Chains A and B, each alone.
Chain A
Amino acid sequence: MAKIEALGVDVGSTTVKMVAVNDHGEMVWHMLEEADPRAADQVSRFLAEAARRFGSLNGVPLVATGYGRKLVQQAARQVTEISCHAMGIYAELGHGGTLVDIGGQDSKAIRISDSGKVIDFAMNDKCAAGTGRFLENTAGRLRVPLQEMGQDALSSADEVPISSTCTVFAESEVISLIAQGIPVPAILKGLHRSLVKRVAAMISSVGLTAPLMLSGGVVKNPAIRAMLAEETGSAVTLPDHPQLMGAYGAALYALRIAE
């Protein structure tokens, strides 16, 4: 059984992630669940699971990140998602550049220096139209499983523009497009474009250093990856576990405490 030195937890709006690292800072275990409104209980459960696998967690520091980080009483420290994502992706990919994280309820662009430090960041947490919620909402309306909508969008040669910049109004726009008999994949492609354009604008506000690094649950969607490359004109690169970069970075911060 591997020995763990530090833990990180990312209490996000959509999912909760925990990562354990060894003394080399390598990710040796992780756990991911849909977010429970009782975040504190959920984190306790995660920790119990870690203890079951690795034995006592005494002396294993925990750092919390994500919107719910303040709820994590067991954490030795709380660090923002900005710092944690930068820390995690830099450790994993080994270079600086521009990182885009598209989560369930917010998205952010972070410019990371060659030495792994945050130089600049921009966040979109005012409007759901630049986040995963935008796709989730409309996927529900189109009755397309979330996991398949990216592939469906890419399969379409046609694309209809979605002019609404608001998630709620985009939904009513989608309804009227369906009523006009527009094929679902063409609508899906338009929806992805709409989201990607918003994210691309955010990227340009911090500046793009290629290749564009991606993290967050939404980048598992192949259409998002392809269209972001298209819109920014840059190749995109992903870590093995894009959803875990925040928790991984938190664990690396915890490792500093352990050391």
Chain B
Amino acid sequence: MNIGKELNYQWQVNVLGRSALRLNRILMARKAGKGQLGKSRLLTPPLNTSIWTKELIGQHYLRGRYANSHGKVAWVTSGAPIEFLKALDFYLLYPENHGALCGAARAAEGLSIEAEKAGYSRDICSYARTDIGAMLSGKTPVGRLPKPDLLLACTNICQTVLHWYRVLAHHFQVPLILIDTPFIYTEMTDHAVAFVKAQLEEAIIVAEKVAGKPLDPRRFKEVTRLSMLASELWLELLRRNRHRPAPISVFDQFTQMAPIVEMRGEASTVDLYAAMLKEVDQRIEQGIGVVPEERLRLLWDNLPVWYRLRYLAEFLGAHGAVIVASTYTNAWAELGPQMDPEHPMESMARTYMYPILNRGTGEKLATMRQMIQDYHLDGAILHSDRSCKPYSVGQMDQRDRLMRQDDLPALLLEADHNDPRSYSEEQVANRLTAFMEMLEAA
């Protein structure tokens, strides 16, 4: 270890950065105390714990900025089995989360263009383009991204990651671990679990080599336990929306979900969601909903439109419509019950084959149907995401079945999660207004 670099890391991250983020949290909390948090007249103010989320995410990227001088870094896909890497003390960067952050900060288009200039087609996922653009240009709204020492891609979310991470491996000249999760059409077979488990065993050997130390089994179990606890709390949090009025809109979940994705396996994530759950319960007790008068309860399918979150929340809020459930935020909640800290290898294989995108489209339909019951839905918005083909495939049929068999009005909304060039606000607004009129007249 270079002592000078390590001292600089401690100074920048744990002294300067941490103090600045804490100060920001205090100032924001003061604002919240005066009722000045959130600028929307249509929506109730955000949760006070959202200030804490912001601080945690700030710390995460701050640590990332100096991570190369402190320890080993791995870049991983959003649904990757990360518990062994966390136990080996890797700093984990999630390019998809960073992509979402760029989307929300309106930086994704510029970064995508950087990738397109290098020859990457506009038909490729906008997360991939944002990430490759950031890699090539070095530009990012978070200051600086650490270089990876290791890459981990898991095919449980899409096949694009296969090619995307090969590009990263070629660029950074670092080892790439690929975990291939067999697609579950109907049920998870034992031989599929054994296949994934065998890959994980090999992956650990590679990761130990890069980390320069062996995996501590107790630490591995502890990280798995923390992942499980956070996921379970997240699930409880989402379930609170069964109440009327719903206490936390899916648009808020989209921003509050960052830690369950990129900071799972950390104690601070568990503490955050425990506190958030407490605050949400207080809101329920006080009868505080997302909008002053909740009239319509909707489902959202697919990724968010990161660059128009607030616009869409307010647009719907003006009609008394709240998105109360989503297959997307649920994807990290339904992993918790699969995890078993006492058998981390076996449970990791099962958990990471289970994401909704790694199961048949009928499973997603079944999830949506369950949500109709659990959340008392009046309608569904299916975001047909230009960039995310695995999530969007089957939506025409799913919409059709929801309409005909479940009598649930459903709208297909064409957009893109990160590329505003594939989003037309006038047309989106027109469709949404017509859909609201239809629901209001029903």
Contacts and interface: CB of A to CB of B under 8 A. Distances in A.
B430 A123 contact: yes
B437 A80 contact: yes
A81 B404 CA distance: 24
Nearest to B431: A123
Give the interface SS of chain B, mostly helix, strand, loop or mixed.
helix
Interface in A110-139: 117-123, 125-126
Contacts of A205: 396, 400
B40 interface: no
A118 B431 contact: no
B438 interface: yes
Interface string B402-442: 01100001001010000000001011001101100110011
B427 A125 contact: yes
Contact of B437 (A118, A120, A125): A118
Interface residues of A, number: 17
A122 B435 CA distance: 10
B441 A125 contact: no
B234 to A, nearest CB: 34
Given A126-B414, A205-B396, A120 B434 contact: no
Given A83-B441, A126-B414, A205-B396, A121 B434 contact: yes
Interface string A189-229: 00000000000000001010000000000000000000000
Give the interface SS of chain A, mostly helix, strand, loop or mixed.
mixed
Nearest to B427: A125
B245 to A, nearest CB: 26
Nearest to B403: A120
A79 interface: yes
Contact of A80 (B409, B414, B433): B433
A83 B434 contact: yes
A80 B424 contact: no
A82 interface: yes
A227 to B, nearest CB: 24
Nearest to A113: B442
B438 A121 contact: yes
Contacts of B424: 126
A80 B441 contact: no
B441 A79 contact: no
A42 B430 CA distance: 22
Contacts of A118: 434, 437-438, 441
B409 A120 contact: yes
Contact of B438 (A83, A123, A125): A83
A125 B434 contact: no
Nearest to B432: A80
A117 B441 contact: yes
Given A120-B403, A126-B414, A126-B424, A82 B434 contact: yes
Contacts of B396: 205
Contacts of A80: 430, 433-434, 437
- 3 smallest CB-CB distances across A and B, nearest first, come from A82-B434, A80-B434, A118-B438
16 contacts: A80-B433, A82-B437, A82-B438, A83-B434, A83-B437, A117-B438, A117-B442, A118-B441, A119-B403, A119-B438, A121-B434, A122-B412, A123-B430, A123-B431, A123-B434, A125-B427
Given A81-B434, A123-B427, 16 more contacts: A67-B430, A80-B433, A80-B437, A81-B430, A82-B434, A82-B437, A83-B434, A83-B441, A117-B438, A117-B441, A117-B442, A119-B409, A120-B409, A121-B438, A123-B431, A205-B396
